[in-house]
Amino acid sequence: MGKLQFRLLASFTLVIFVAMGAVLFLLNQTTKDILENRQAEEMVALSSRMQSALTEYYTINRDWDGIEPYIEQWGNIYELKIILTDTEGSIIVDSDNKLTGTYTPDSGGIPLTTLFRTSQTGILYITPKATSSFSLESIQILFNAIGQYFIVGGIVSIAVAIILSYILSRRVLSPVKELTGAARKLGKGDLSQRVRVNEQSEFGELAETFNSMAANLEKAEELRKNMVADIAHELRTPLTNIKGYLEAVLDGVVQPSESTIRNLDEEATLLARLVSDLQELSLAEAGELKLQVESTDIGQIIGNTCELMQTKAVQKKITLRCEIDNNLPVIPADPQRIGQVLRNLITNALTATPHSGSVSITAGQKDGFVEVSIADSGEGISPENLERIFERFYRVDKSRARATGGTGLGLTIARRLIEAHHGTMRAESEPGKGSRFIF
């Protein structure tokens, strides 16, 4: 017998015994009360009948002569001790024929008179003999009969309890056992473990929770593997390039000129940027990016960034416009991070926009939020690429992105930064006409 089954059985048995005990106790009390009440009522009726019979007797006979047989008979029939005394207390009759002389009563007697109540004729004392011989006996018989039923009932109940505790413990334990097995395997690294959810009880809920936890773990593990593969892939390209140049120089195929060294430096710079972007992304994804939140004049931040980016725009002959609502509120934000997001989005827009194109930044209030949008008149992004540009390392045109030095992490980090500010970021685009990034 398992622990749970034993506990269930013990609980059932306890409940059975307590219930039976309570019923027996209550039955005992009520039966006794009823019998005692009945006896008291009977005594009152008997006394009053005897009182009137004796009164009538005395009225007719004018003395108590010849009363003995009646008193003795009553005593025998009703199992009573009856004593009749005169007004002074001298015993006239004792139903048991034992007492003579003066009677010292324990309790008050019933005064007897003549029918006309002219004078007192004697005192009658009545006490039940073996008080409850009748009631005790009948209670005993009753309880013996009930007791037998209780024993049979108890045995049947305990048998039912054994069967019930077996069935219940099996029902309860089978999902628990399944869960334990699955959790053990999960703990050993088999993240594909799932359990069946076949009931809507707390166990069903537990099974569902387990399954969703296992699914999350599996997804996280999958993501981790993909990320490691992505990182290895991204690091490999600049490293291969550096190695290639160095080997070519060593083999004397290429002369170590200024341009070779510049190429090496560019690759190393890309590597360094990759590493620092990765570090930032990993912090952001773990939710550990520390924001220096302060009351920030967001309008001023946008204005400053706009000015800063003008030089780049002018170099590319692009018109950079800024339309900032004058009534923008002061908001709790990290000004450095918001600046970083803006620079990133504006740089992307400038990169995507050809000469004599335009990039415009607008900022206003919408639904209790500050909404900033960066729109360009560039090449735009196709719908299938638009879906993926916020993924890490995703670049629309890999070869061209390398020329611009992009790591494919800029938008991922920017979106994470905005989300850390409890905001959202999205992109819209019409291929050939331009794109718009809104946060």
Q: Is 238 in the site for ligand ADP (CB under 6 A)?
A: no
Count Cβ atoms below 10 Å from residue 36 Cβ, excluding itself: 13
Kindly tell me which of 352 and 361 has the beta carbon lying closer to ligand ADP.
Answer: 352
DSSP state of 392: T
Closest distance to ligand ADP from the beta carbon of 363 (Å)? 17
Closest distance to ligand ADP from the beta carbon of 434 (Å)? 7
Q: How far apart are CA 297 and CA 309, in angstroms?
A: 19
Choice from 57, 396, 421, 428 touching ligand ADP (CB under 6 A):
396
User: Footprint of ligand ADP on residues 30-69 (CB under 6 A)?
Assistant: none
Pairing between β-strand 294-297 and β-strand 319-324 as defined by DSSP bridges: unpaired
Kindly tell me which of 175 and 380 has the beta carbon lying closer to ligand ADP.
Answer: 380
Q: How far apart are CA 308 and CA 291, in angstroms?
A: 23
Closest distance to ligand ADP from the beta carbon of 387 (Å)? 11
Kindly tell me which of 95 and 337 has the beta carbon lying closer to ligand ADP.
Answer: 337
Q: Tokens 């960034």 — which residue?
A: 305
Closest distance to ligand ADP from the beta carbon of 343 (Å)? 11
Q: Is 407 in the site for ligand ADP (CB under 6 A)?
A: yes
Q: How far apart are CA 24 and CA 64, in angstroms?
A: 50
Choice from 75, 175, 299, 410 touching ligand ADP (CB under 6 A):
410
Q: Tokens 């050939």 — which residue?
A: 432
Helix, strand, coil percentages, rounded to 5, for the chain:
60, 15, 25
Kindly tell me which of 194 and 436 has the beta carbon lying closer to ligand ADP.
Answer: 436
**What angle do helix axes 202-250 and 258-285 make, rounded to 10 degrees?**
170
Q: How far apart are CA 372 and CA 342, in angstroms?
A: 9
User: Footprint of ligand ADP on residues 333-392 (CB under 6 A)?
Assistant: 348-349, 352, 376, 378-379, 381, 389
Kindly tell me which of 147 and 405 has the beta carbon lying closer to ligand ADP.
Answer: 405
Query: Which residues on adjacent β-strands are paired with residue 371?
Result: 364
Kindly tell me which of 305 and 407 has the beta carbon lying closer to ligand ADP.
Answer: 407
Q: Tokens 């009969």 — which residue?
A: 145
Structural contact between residues 289 and 283, judged by C-beta atoms closer than 8 angstroms: yes
Q: Tokens 């685009």 — which residue?
A: 429
Choose the stretch contacting ligand ADP; rule: CB under 6 A; options: 47-55, 126-134, 288-296, 399-407: 399-407
Report which residue's Cβ sits closest to ligand ADP. Answer: 406
Q: Is 146 in the site for ligand ADP (CB under 6 A)?
A: no
Choice from 83, 284, 435, 439 touching ligand ADP (CB under 6 A):
435
Count of residues touching ligand ADP (by CB under 6 A):
21
Taking CA atoms, 136 is separated from 28, 44, 272, 288, in Å, by 11, 20, 103, 83
| Residue numbers at the binding site for ligand ADP (CB under 6 A) | 348-349, 352, 376, 378-379, 381, 389, 394-397, 401, 406-412, 435
